[in-house]
Amino acid sequence: MKNSEGNNDYRIAVPSEFETVFSHFYFAENKTDFPITKTLLPSFQTILVFNFGAEAFLKSQQNNILKAEKCLVLGPIKQAFDYTLKPNAAILVANFKEDAFYRFFGNALLTHSLPIHTDALIPENCFTTLWEELKEIPDNKQRVDYILKFCKPYLREQNKITTLLADFKDEALNPIKAIASSTNQTERNIQLNQKKFFGYTIKEVNRYERFLKAVELIQKSAVATEKIDWIAIVDVCGYYDQSQLIHDFKYYMNISPTKFLKFQSDICGFKTA
């Protein structure tokens, strides 16, 4: 979307052929005379960032600052971080789904720690070449189409275990135990495959989904009533106590639940108590 300040940002959908690889692409540029800082919330996705303009910086909750130059791989995103676009900065971000990052880069992932420049993962500096070609394309939809075409030769098919993990929907069952039983493998082996191919464990993603459930309940409660029943939210979401809920807010968003609620009140216009 575009606003009056000259900040332009929007999502670009991917064709159905690539829906198991990318959730979407995201473009943002700063056409103002001042730096613009935004916050990227955790998604448990790995992202590929192309920078086509002035400098862009990423800042972690630990105050580590990373400069995004031509290309950068980062993730899986498990905590919120701020990113700053200087005037005339422009970034295009590919959001990988589930095990798609591993399917793209393969075993190279195991020998590097992220964030990393993409040319360290695929030889012959092909991503620098890709960046140079993308920079000459003025339309972002055409850029995305070019990236998708570039990806095809590198993509590997999902193996049996990752397909089962990605498609598992039965909330009443433990996916690790169920898949181990159906494939006649040990639970440990399924856990290792989950961590290797997805970049996170079932335990980590379950914790994050519990947090998202809490956020949704808080937002709904704030709209419906002036007072939040924190004890009820703790109980419904399966937290041990309120301190565990506070810890998750600090971990994922670096704010407390009450500060989050106050911020929501400011931007959405409901009253809180």
Q: Per-domain residue ranges for the chain? A: 7-154, 160-200, 203-268
What pLDDT, on the 0 to 100 scale, is given for residue 245?
A: 94
Of 76, 79, 85, 102, which Cα lies nearest the Cα of 27?
A: 85
| Residue 89 near residue 55, CB atoms below 8 Å | yes
DSSP for 82-110 reads: EEEE-TT-EEEEEEE-TTHHHHHHGGGGG
| Residue 122 near residue 65, CB atoms below 8 Å | no
Q: pLDDT for 54-105, tens place per residue? A: 989 888 888 888 888 888 888 788 888 899 999 999 999 999 988 887 777 6
Helices (H), the chain: 100-105, 126-135, 140-151, 160-167, 175-183, 187-198, 202-224, 230-237, 242-253, 257-268
**Other C-beta atoms lying within 10 Å of the C-beta of residue 215:** 20
Q: Give the C-alpha separation, 80 to 211, whole Å.
A: 13
Q: Give the C-alpha separation, 11 to 25, whole Å.
A: 6
pTM value surpassing 0.95: no
Architecture of domain 203-268: Orthogonal Bundle (1.10)
What pLDDT, on the 0 to 100 scale, is given for residue 237?
A: 93
Q: pLDDT for 215-236, tens place per residue? A: 888 888 877 766 788 999 999 9
What pLDDT, on the 0 to 100 scale, is given for residue 161?
A: 86
| Residue 122 near residue 105, CB atoms below 8 Å | yes
Q: pLDDT for 105-160, tens place per residue? A: 665 444 444 454 454 555 545 677 888 899 999 999 999 999 998 888 777 777 78
Quote the radius of gyration of the chain (alpha carbons, Å): 20
Q: Give the C-alpha separation, 224 to 11, whole Å.
A: 31
What pLDDT, on the 0 to 100 scale, is given for residue 189?
A: 92
Architecture of domain 7-154: Sandwich (2.60)
